[in-house]
């Protein structure tokens, strides 16, 4: 069964989810083992992916619906890593909640497999059902707290997500109707062959796809759920949403738009749309983030602003020839750097907020004296989000703005740089509170090993890729190179 | 094939004629004064419930438990719809198809096992 | 689709579906809205039959008419009685404008595009669907079962009362 081998990374994750459900249901006294089962599953998944890299035998399986290529392998590693960090960061919180341990880890892993399928799907049906597989656990997880805030977050996410799915499905139906196939490669061929006779339908389908995925990418004007959901959902879940589902949405948008809608007369249109969306998204996200007093809301708006930076990479497609995929590789590189950075921020916020019982930025005052480790980690990751060396965030911004300039999008890069300055204001506001603010309570905050490990890994990643970005850049280039054939 | 559905359509039309016809007849008879107009009293307007007198409004708030049952019903209903095409070609798709269907059922079986162990299938008040 | 029969059926179904769909939006009572929604679903199932997509028609009846509407009805019957009527909304006019714009866009697109045509009579049978589902699309088929299981777990988790959660935590 070759297909099972190709889908191995996902099956390992799903298998771990199944084992977790079984252990939780049949031997509930062993519940403290559950996060370790999850981590083992993710490790097996990563090893399976490594074995494919070692075999160097990239292929499609299941009738061409699932593609194992550099692009999906890049995201398999990214999602396994993100999920492992989220699981590590959740252990304390889940134990303290004392309920639904099995369901929590099982749903996190199921969502992870959905994200993996999403990045590897080469067929609209597979992509859609993978999107649902990643979304439905996330709806449940957002409403996990069951208090008013969390239920509101879950319900809002579910309703808006359902609308986004329906728009997406409408766009996919139009694409299928006009090309007669759901396979991305065949859609691309049909469009290239038929020319711009069906341009109007394709533009409408494209708009619907951008709207549907825009919700998951959290770009303006589909961002209104973000602050409420991030604030209401449990913090580990908010971390997962801000990194995992955003990365998967960008992965699938890159794949669909480059592979199926890459024809020149279409890419000119959508690169303009993405350029405008990028400028608006960055500006709205940053301006709204300035006035926030709740750190989770602020991170929500900051993640919107970062999505605007990713969009610069998608807008930069108009470069022809050898640098056709420069923008796409910029998106991938930025996604990986952002994953480390934003997870680091969220892990520190989880650790601090749990102890001080507040998400208000002013309550973070004087944290340096209470927990130097958490403060340093948080500050370092915030510096990376601003885009200052020596961090991975710096190289990511430099790389993607470079792609923008090569694509004659100088105005967009200027907007991006100005926005980085604005973002520095609120990121540094938090850092200032951490180090200079005075706090009435000066009891030290003890960090649990799991939180320490995940924050350490995140900060180390940000630092190492800030000093030596080349391995990550070349991986991103290899991954994006699969789109360069046409 | 469509022609056969046309026959069902005719059946549908006939089925609609009966209730609509009865209502129209009743309404029309009001004009020829065979049936007296506007006869109403509380007993006549009451909801008919097997001859027993109804108590309280008909739209009451149901027990929350029903929602579990409805959710489980929807999920297994969808499962059934997916299994239908599998059952039709069961004999043609060979062992691979057999195991594909089996794993589909197996994964959902895990869900049932979970629901059973978590006592979601019990009726508790 | 040749002859008068399918044409008559199409227009009757279109009228039923559209009127019922409009009723869903305009009805003040949520209960009536759901009943009309069921009628809309049945009308759409009729369209699937007209397109010779019998399996999809059956799925539409079983899932939407049979299960989803039951779920919606239960949701209405389980909420306190005050929630059974639509409130006043200020969004009626913007929504109307948006729908008119969308309808205009789609009408334009439908007329403008060179849709690929199938020359033969549409013939479709569930056996072919089953074989496709178990060969090319076996991956979405299997993912669907995982999705259903995840939804089951999530639904049980969210619908559980605090008392049941406490029992479960002690187990």
- Quick check: A132 and A103 in contact, CB under 8 A? no
Residues C64 and C136 in one domain: no
Which pLDDT score is estimated for C120? 64
Q: Is C140 close to A125, i.e. CB distance below 8 A?
A: yes
- Quick check: A275 and A309 in contact, CB under 8 A? no
Instruction: Quote the CA–CA distance of A279 and A233 in Å, as a whole number.
Output: 28
Q: Is B117 close to A18, i.e. CB distance below 8 A?
A: no
- Quick check: A435 and A379 in contact, CB under 8 A? yes
- DSSP class of residue C119 equals -
Q: Which of A180, B90, A176 is nearest to C134 (CA)?
A: B90
| Contact residues of A toward C, CB < 8 A | 3, 7, 14, 21, 28, 62-66, 98-100, 103, 106-107, 110, 113, 117, 123, 125-126, 129-130, 132-133, 136-137, 139-140, 143-144, 146, 154, 174, 177-180, 194, 197-198, 200-201, 204
Which pLDDT score is estimated for A89? 92
Instruction: Quote the CA–CA distance of A193 and B49 in Å, as a whole number.
Output: 67
Question: What are the φ and ψ backbone dihedral angles of C85, each rounded to 5 degrees?
Answer: -130, 145
Which pLDDT score is estimated for B118? 85
Angle at C128 between CA C125 and CA C130, to 5 degrees: 105
Q: Helix, strand, coil shares of chain B as percentages rounded to 5? A: 65, 0, 35
Q: Is C146 close to A140, i.e. CB distance below 8 A?
A: no
- The minimum CA-CA distance between C7 and chain A, rounded to whole Å, is 22
- Comparing CB atoms, the residue among C109, C135, C150 nearest residue A137 is C150
**Continuous H helices in A99-245:** 101-120, 124-142, 148-179, 184-194, 199-217, 225-232, 235-240
**Which chain B residues are within 8 Å of C67, Cβ to Cβ?**
73-74, 77-78
Which pLDDT score is estimated for A141? 94
Residue of C nearest to A107 (CA): C150
Sign of CA dihedral A36, A42, A45, A50: negative
Residues C80 and C4 in one domain: yes
Tell me how far the alpha carbon of residue C55 is from its chain's centroid: 15
- The minimum CA-CA distance between C169 and chain A, rounded to whole Å, is 6
Q: Which of residues 49-68 of B touch C (CB under 8 A)?
A: 59-62, 64, 66-68
- Quick check: A199 and A191 in contact, CB under 8 A? no
Instruction: Quote the CA–CA distance of C120 and A371 in Å, as a whole number.
Output: 74
DSSP secondary structure, B8-66, as one string: HHHHHHHHHHHHHHHHHHHHHHTTTTSS-SS---HHHHSPPBTTBPP-S-SSPPPPTHH
Instruction: Give strand pairing partners of A59.
Output: A68
- Quick check: A214 and A222 in contact, CB under 8 A? yes
Element (H, E) at A241: none
Domain holding C171, by residue range, is: 126-171
**Which chain A residues are within 8 Å of C109, Cβ to Cβ?**
174, 200-201, 204
For residue A103, how many other CB atoms are within 10 A of its CB? 27
Residues C139 and C61 in one domain: no
3-state secondary structure of A67: strand
- Quick check: A134 and A10 in contact, CB under 8 A? no
Which pLDDT score is estimated for B6? 78
**Which chain B residues are within 8 Å of C141, Cβ to Cβ?**
82, 100, 104
Please report whether residue C92 resides in a domain: no
Which pLDDT score is estimated for B1? 63
Instruction: Give strand pairing partners of A66.
Output: A61, A121
Instruction: Quote the CA–CA distance of A394 and A375 in Å, as a whole number.
Output: 20
- Quick check: A362 and A368 in contact, CB under 8 A? no
Residue of A nearest to C148 (CA): A133
Structure tokens at A92: 């304390």
**Which chain C residues are within 8 Å of A197, Cβ to Cβ?**
113-114
Per-residue pLDDT of chain A (486 residues; tens, 9 = 90+): 688 889 999 999 999 999 999 999 888 888 889 999 999 999 999 999 999 999 888 888 888 899 999 999 999 999 999 999 999 999 999 988 888 889 999 999 999 999 999 999 999 999 999 999 999 999 999 999 888 889 999 999 999 999 999 999 999 999 998 888 899 999 999 888 887 778 888 999 999 999 999 999 999 888 889 999 999 999 999 999 999 999 999 999 999 998 888 888 888 888 889 999 999 999 999 999 999 999 999 999 999 999 999 999 888 876 555 567 888 899 999 999 999 999 999 999 999 888 888 888 888 888 888 888 999 999 999 999 998 888 999 999 999 999 998 888 899 999 999 999 999 999 999 999 888 877 777 788 888 889 999 999 999 999 999 999 999 999 998 898 888 754
Q: Which of C42, C56, C63 is nearest to C124 (CA)?
A: C56
Q: Which of A370, A386, A390 is nearest to A433 (CA)?
A: A370
In this structure, the strands spanning A66-68 and A59-61 are antiparallel
Structure tokens at A371: 């927990």
Angle at A107 between CA A101 and CA A109, to 5 degrees: 105
Instruction: Quote the CA–CA distance of A77 and A43 in Å, as a whole number.
Output: 10
CATH number (domain holding residue C71): 1.20.120.1200
Any idea which residue has 């494919």 for tokens?
Answer: A52
Q: Which of A243, A155, A261 is nearest to A206 (CA)?
A: A261
Q: Return the exposure string of B2-20: e unless at least 16 CB atoms fall within 10 Å of the residue's CB, then b.
A: beebeeebeeeeeeeeeee
Mutation target among A10, A15, A25 for the B interface, most CBs of B within 10 A: A25
Q: Is C126 close to B79, i.e. CB distance below 8 A?
A: no
Residue of A nearest to C139 (CA): A62
Q: Which of A198, A166, A165, A180 is nearest to A266 (CA)?
A: A198
Please report whether residue C26 resides in a domain: yes
Show which of C86, C106, C137 is a domain's final residue: C86
- Quick check: A294 and A361 in contact, CB under 8 A? yes
DSSP secondary structure, C47-113, as one string: HHHHTT-HHHHHHIIIIIIIIIHHHHHHHHHHS-GGGGBPPP-S-HHHHHHHHHHHHHHHHHHHHHS
**Which chain C residues are within 8 Å of A14, Cβ to Cβ?**
146
- Quick check: B77 and C114 in contact, CB under 8 A? no
- The minimum CA-CA distance between C9 and chain A, rounded to whole Å, is 23
Tell me the average confidence (pLDDT) per consecutive run of 10 residues in chain C, 171 residues long.
Answer: 77 94 87 92 92 88 90 80 67 88 91 76 74 87 93 88 80 67
Instruction: Quote the CA–CA distance of A459 and A378 in Å, as a whole number.
Output: 8
SS3 per-residue string spanning A384-448:
HHHCCCCCHHHHHHHHHHHHHHHCCCHHHHHHHHHHHHHHHHHHHHHHHHHHHCCCCCCCCCCCC
Which pLDDT score is estimated for C162? 81
Q: Is C155 close to B86, i.e. CB distance below 8 A?
A: no
- Quick check: A264 and A183 in contact, CB under 8 A? no
Residues C5 and C55 in one domain: yes
Cα distances (Å, whole numbers) of residue B23 to B13, B17, B35, B51: 16, 10, 13, 22
Residue of A nearest to B111 (CA): A21
Which pLDDT score is estimated for B125? 65
Residues C78 and C26 in one domain: yes
Please report whether residue C111 resides in a domain: no
- The minimum CA-CA distance between B60 and chain A, rounded to whole Å, is 25
Which pLDDT score is estimated for A318? 63
C108 touches chain A (CB under 8 A): yes
Please report whether residue C107 resides in a domain: no
**Which chain B residues are within 8 Å of C31, Cβ to Cβ?**
59
Structure tokens at A481: 């190179």
B83 touches chain C (CB under 8 A): no
- For chain A, give every domain's residue range: 264-486
Residues C133 and C80 in one domain: no
Show which of C26, C61, C86 is a domain's final residue: C86
Instruction: Quote the CA–CA distance of A423 and A417 in Å, as a whole number.
Output: 10
Domains and CATH numbers, chain B: 2-117 (1.20.58)
DSSP secondary structure, A153-179, as one string: HHHHHHHHHHHHHHHHHHHHHHHHHHH
Length of chain B (residues)? 125
Structure tokens at A335: 């996604």
Please report whether residue C79 resides in a domain: yes
Q: Which of C67, C135, A11, A65 is nearest to B86 (CA)?
A: C135
**Which chain B residues are within 8 Å of C123, Cβ to Cβ?**
1
Please report whether residue C94 resides in a domain: no
Kindly give, in sequence order, each residue whose CB lies less than 8 Å from that of residue A87, ignoring residues fewer than 6 positions away.
A35, A38, A39, A42, A105, A108
Q: Which of residues 51-110 of C touch B (CB under 8 A)?
A: 52, 55, 58-59, 62-63, 66-68, 70-71, 74-75, 77-81, 84
Tell me how far the alpha carbon of residue A345 is from its chain's centroid: 14
- Tally the domains of chain C: 2
Which pLDDT score is estimated for A445? 82
Residue of A nearest to B118 (CA): A25
Kindly give, in sequence order, each residue whose CB lies less than 8 Å from that of residue A257, ignoring residues fewer than 6 positions away.
A206, A209, A267, A270, A314, A317
Residues C73 and C21 in one domain: yes
Instruction: Quote the CA–CA distance of A452 and A109 in Å, as a whole number.
Output: 22
C150 touches chain A (CB under 8 A): yes
Q: Which of B78, B62, B73, B80 is nearest to B120 (CA)?
A: B73
């Amino acid at each position: 069964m070759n297909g099972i081998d190709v889908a191995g990374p996902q099956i390992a994750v799903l298998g771990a989810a199944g084992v977790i459900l079984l252990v939780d249901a049949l031997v509930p006294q062993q519940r403290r083992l559950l996060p370790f089962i999850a981590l083992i599953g993710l490790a097996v998944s990563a090893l399976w992916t490594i074995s494919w890299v070692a075999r160097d035998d990239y292929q499609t399986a299941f009738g061409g619906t699932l593609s194992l290529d550099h692009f999906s392998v890049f995201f398999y590693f990214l999602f396994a890593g993100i999920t492992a960090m989220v699981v590590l960061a959740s252990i304390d919180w889940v134990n303290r909640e004392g309920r639904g341990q099995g369901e929590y880890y099982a749903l996190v892993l199921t969502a992870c497999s959905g994200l993996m399928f999403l990045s590897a799907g080469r067929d609209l049906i597979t992509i859609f059902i993978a999107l649902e597989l990643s979304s439905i656990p996330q709806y449940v997880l957002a409403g996990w707290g069951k208090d008013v805030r969390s239920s509101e977050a879950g319900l809002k996410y579910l309703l808006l997500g359902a609308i986004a799915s329906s728009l997406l499905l409408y766009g996919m139906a139009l694409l299928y109707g006009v090309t007669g196939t759901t396979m991305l490669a065949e859609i691309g061929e049909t469009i290239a062959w038929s020319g711009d006779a069906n341009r109007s339908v394709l533009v409408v389908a494209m708009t619907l796809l951008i709207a549907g995925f825009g919700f998951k990418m959290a770009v303006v004007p589909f961002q209104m759920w973000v602050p409420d959901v991030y604030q209401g959902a449990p913090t580990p879940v908010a971390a997962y949403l801000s990194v995992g589902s955003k990365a998967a949405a960008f992965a699938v948008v890159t794949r669909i738009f480059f592979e199926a809608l890459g024809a020149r007369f279409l890419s000119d249109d959508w690169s303009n749309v993405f350029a405008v969306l990028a400028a608006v998204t960055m500006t709205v996200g940053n301006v709204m983030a300035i006035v926030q007093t709740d750190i989770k809301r602020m991170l929500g708006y900051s993640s919107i602003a970062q999505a605007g930076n990713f969009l610069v990479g998608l807008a930069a497609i108009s470069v022809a020839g050898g640098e056709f995929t420069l923008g796409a590789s910029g998106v991938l590189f930025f996604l990986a750097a952002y994953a480390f950075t934003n997870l680091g921020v969220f892990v520190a916020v989880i650790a601090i907020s749990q102890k001080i019982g507040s998400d208000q930025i002013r309550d973070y005052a004087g944290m340096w004296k209470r927990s130097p480790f958490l403060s340093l980690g948080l500050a370092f990751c915030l510096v990376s989000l601003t885009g200052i060396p020596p961090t991975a965030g710096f190289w990511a911004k430099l790389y993607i703005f470079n792609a923008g300039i090569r694509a004659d999008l100088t105005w967009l890069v200027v907007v991006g740089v100005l926005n980085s300055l604005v973002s520095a204001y609120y990121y540094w506001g938090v850092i200032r509170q951490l180090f200079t603010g005075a706090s009435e309570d000066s009891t030290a905050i003890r960090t649990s090993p799991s939180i320490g490990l995940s924050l350490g890994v995140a900060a180390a990643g940000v630092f190492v890729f800030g000093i030596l970005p080349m391995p990550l850049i070349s991986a991103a280039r290899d991954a994006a190179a699969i789109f360069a054939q046409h | 094939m469509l022609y056969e559905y046309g026959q069902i359509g005719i059946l549908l039309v006939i089925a609609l004629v009966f209730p609509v016809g009865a209502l129209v007849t009743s309404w029309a008879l009001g004009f020829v004064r065979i049936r007296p107009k506007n006869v109403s009293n509380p007993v006549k307007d009451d909801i008919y419930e097997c001859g027993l007198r109804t108590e309280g409004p008909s739209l009451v708030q149901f027990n929350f438990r029903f929602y579990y049952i409805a959710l489980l019903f929807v999920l297994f209903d969808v499962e059934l719809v997916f299994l239908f095409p599998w059952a039709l070609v069961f004999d043609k798709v060979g062992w691979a198809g057999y195991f594909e269907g089996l794993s589909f059922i197996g994964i959902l079986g895990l869900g049932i096992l979970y629901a059973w162990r978590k006592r979601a299938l019990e009726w508790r008040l | 689709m040749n002859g008068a029969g399918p044409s008559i059926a199409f227009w009757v179904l279109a009228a039923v579906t559209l009127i019922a769909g409009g009723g869903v939006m305009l009805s003040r009572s949520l209960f009536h809205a759901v009943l009309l929604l069921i009628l809309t679903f049945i009308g759409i199932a009729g369209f699937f039959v007209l397109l010779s997509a019998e399996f999809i028609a059956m799925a539409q009846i079983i899932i939407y008419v049979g299960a989803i509407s039951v779920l919606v009805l239960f949701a209405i019957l389980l909420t306190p009685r005050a929630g059974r009527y639509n409130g006043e909304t200020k969004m009626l006019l913007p929504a109307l404008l948006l729908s008119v714009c969308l309808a205009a866009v789609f009408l334009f697109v439908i007329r403008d595009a060179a849709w690929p045509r199938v020359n033969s009579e549409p013939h479709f049978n569930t056996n072919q669907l089953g074989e496709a589902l178990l060969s090319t699309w076996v991956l979405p088929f299997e993912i669907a079962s995982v999705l259903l299981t995840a939804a089951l777990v999530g639904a049980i988790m969210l619908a559980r009362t605090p008392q049941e959660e406490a029992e479960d935590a002690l187990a």
